[in-house]
Structure 1
Amino acid sequence: MKVLALEDNKELAKSIHDFLSMAGYVCEMAETIAEAKEKLLSFSYDCILLDIMLPDGNGLDVLRFIKAEKISSGVLIISAKEALDDKIEGLEEGADDYLTKPFHLSELHARIRAIYRRKSLDGNNDKLVTFNEISLNTDTFEAFINNNLLDITRKEFDLLMYFMVNKNRVLSRQAIAAHLWGDYTDNLANLDFVYQHVKNLRKKISLVNGTDYIDTVYGLGYRFKSNTPEA
C-alpha cells in the first residue's frame, strides 16, 4: 500500500514514516499544501494522512483539491483535540475518517487499513481478498493458490494485490514502480526490476499450478485479466 502523509511536525512525520515503512508500506511525506498538491498530481496513493494546521494554510484545502481533481485516494484527517469543527467539515467534504492527536501509531495503522479495505477492496472488511483460486490474507500477507501457500516476498504479495484490485486495467511499469517503491523511481531510466518481479511472481504461481492471469501488454505494461486465458 502507498501512503502520503501531510504533516509539518518533523518528529511526528518521522515517527509515522518509520512505523509505516517498517510495516511494509511505501510512505511518502509532504510538509506543505503546495508540496502535497504537487505529489498528488504526479503520483497515486491508496491513503492520504491529512493534518489540518499547516504552515501555508488549512489542510482542508487539500481535501477540496482532492475532490476537485477527482482523486480516488482514501483520506484520514489528523487533527488536534479542539478542532471539532474541522473534523465535521472534513467528513462533510469527503474524508473517510479522522484521528485526534496525540494517537498511538498502532491505531493509525488500523485506521489506514480500514480505509483501504473500504475504498480499494469493494467495501470488504474481511482480511481475505479472493479471486477464483487466489486468496490473499491482508493481515498476515500470505497468498494461497487453491489453498496452497505461495512462497512469495512482501513486494510480490503487494504486486499481486495491486494487480487484483486493478483487474482488467493496463498498469504501466512506471505506475507499478511508483506504487510499490515510491516516487524516487520516477527519475530512474531503467525499470527492468519491475519486469523481474512480475516474472518471478508468474513463475511462483505456475509452480503451484495456478492460472496465469497476468498479460504482458507490449509497449504499455501489464494487465491482470479477470477471465481465464484460453488454452
Structure 2
Amino acid sequence: MKILVVEDEKGLAESIVDYLTKEGFICEVANTFWQADEKVSLYKYDCTIVDLTLPDGEGFGIIQTLKKIAATTGIIIISARNTLEDKIKGLEIGSDDYITKPFHLSELNARVKSLIRRRHFGGNNDMIWREIRVQLPSRKVFINEKEALISRKEYDLLLYFLSNIDVVLTKESIAEHLWGDHIDSSDSLDMVYSHIKNLRRKILDKGGKDYIQSVYGIGYKFSAS
C-alpha cells in the first residue's frame, strides 16, 4: 500500500513517514503544493495525507486535483486549523477524514488503515479471493488456510495483484508500486521478476493455483482465466 504525505513541516513529515514505513506502508513525500500536484497527477496512491497550509498553496487544491482526475486514493486532511468551516469544506470537496494537529502517530496510522480497508476491501479485516486469504491487520497470508511465509515486498505485490484482478500491470507500474520514490534501489526490473517468481512458488507450495500470468512485452496479470 502506497501513501503520499503532503506536509511542508519536514520534521513532522519525516516522523509520519518513519512510523508508517515501520507499519509496512510505502511512503512518498511532497513538501510543497506543486510537488504534490505533480505527484498526484502522475502516480497512484492508496491514501494521501494532506496538510492544508502549504508555502505555495492550500491543501484544498490538492484534493480538488485528485477529484478532478477521478483518483481512487483515500484522503486524510491533517491541519492545525480547527475551525468547523475548514472541516466541513474538506469533507464537502472530497476528503474522507480530518485530523487536527497535534495528533498521535498511532491515531493517524489507525485512521489510514481503517480508510484503506473501507475504500479497497469493503471495511473487512480479511481479503479473500478463491483459496487466498490475506489478514490485513497482521499482514499474514493463507493459501487453503495454510500460512504462507512471504516477504514484505511479496505481500505488497500480492495485495497489488488482488486489487487489480484481470488487469494487465506493466513491469514499470509494479516497480513503482513496490519502491515508490526509492525505485532506483531496485537496481533493475529484474527484481520485479524475482519477487513474482518467489510469490508464485510460495502460493504453489501451499496448494494454490498459478494465477500470475506473463503478458509478453508488457508485464503481468493476476487472473483465474
The TM-score by the shorter chain falls in which range? Answer: over 0.9
Match of 1:176 in 2: 174
Which whole-Å deviations, capped at 9, do the CAs of 1:181-212 have from their partners, x for residues lacking one? Answer: 11332797831100100000001111111011
Q: What SS does the corresponding residue of 1:20 show, helix, strand or coil?
A: helix
Q: What SS does the corresponding residue of 1:75 show, helix, strand or coil?
A: strand
Match of 1:106 in 2: 106
Segment drifting more, 54-63 vs 81-90:
81-90
1:129-208 aligned within 5 A: 129-185=127-183, 190-208=188-206
Q: What SS does the corresponding residue of 2:4 show, helix, strand or coil?
A: strand
Match of 1:220 in 2: 218
Sequence identity (%): 47
After superposing on structure 2, the runs of 4+ consecutive aligned residues of structure 1 that deviate more than 6 Å are 186-189
Which whole-Å deviations, capped at 9, do the CAs of 1:67-123 have from their partners, x for residues lacking one? Answer: 1111111100112253321211110011111111111111101111111112112x2
Match of 1:209 in 2: 207
Q: What SS does the corresponding residue of 1:166 show, helix, strand or coil?
A: coil
**Residues of 2 paired with 1:17 and 1:160: CA distance?**
22
Match of 2:119 in 1: 119
Label 1:194 to 1:59 Cα distance change in 2 as closer, same or farther (>3 A). same
Give TM-score scaled by structure 1 length.
0.93
Label 1:41 to 1:188 Cα distance change in 2 as closer, same or farther (>3 A). farther
Q: Is the 8 A contact 1:166 1:224 kept in 2?
A: yes
What amino acid maps onto 2:8 in structure 1?
A: D
**Residues of 2 paired with 1:218 and 1:156: CA distance?**
22
What amino acid maps onto 2:31 in structure 1?
A: E
What amino acid maps onto 2:168 in structure 1?
A: V
Which whole-Å deviations, capped at 9, do the CAs of 1:141-170 have from their partners, x for residues lacking one? Answer: 110011001021111111111100110111
What amino acid maps onto 1:7 in structure 2?
A: E
Match of 2:50 in 1: 50
Q: Is the 8 A contact 2:118 2:124 kept in 1?
A: no
Which whole-Å deviations, capped at 9, do the CAs of 1:38-86 have from their partners, x for residues lacking one? Answer: 1112211100001001101211011111111111111001122533212
Q: What SS does the corresponding residue of 2:102 show, helix, strand or coil?
A: coil
**Residues of 1 paired with 2:127 and 2:120: CA distance?**
11
Q: What SS does the corresponding residue of 2:221 show, helix, strand or coil?
A: strand
Q: What SS does the corresponding residue of 1:182 show, helix, strand or coil?
A: helix
Q: What SS does the corresponding residue of 2:103 show, helix, strand or coil?
A: coil
**Residues of 1 paired with 2:35 and 2:184: CA distance?**
16
**Residues of 1 paired with 2:129 and 2:105: CA distance?**
31
Give TM-score scaled by structure 2 length.
0.95
- Runs of 5+ consecutive residues of structure 2 not aligned to the other structure: none
What amino acid maps onto 2:158 in structure 1?
A: L
Q: Is the 8 A contact 2:24 2:152 kept in 1?
A: yes
What amino acid maps onto 1:108 in structure 2?
A: L
**Residues of 1 paired with 2:97 and 2:173: CA distance?**
27
Q: Is the 8 A contact 2:127 2:136 kept in 1?
A: yes
What amino acid maps onto 1:67 in structure 2?
A: K
Q: How many residues align?
A: 225
**Residues of 1 paired with 2:79 and 2:137: CA distance?**
27
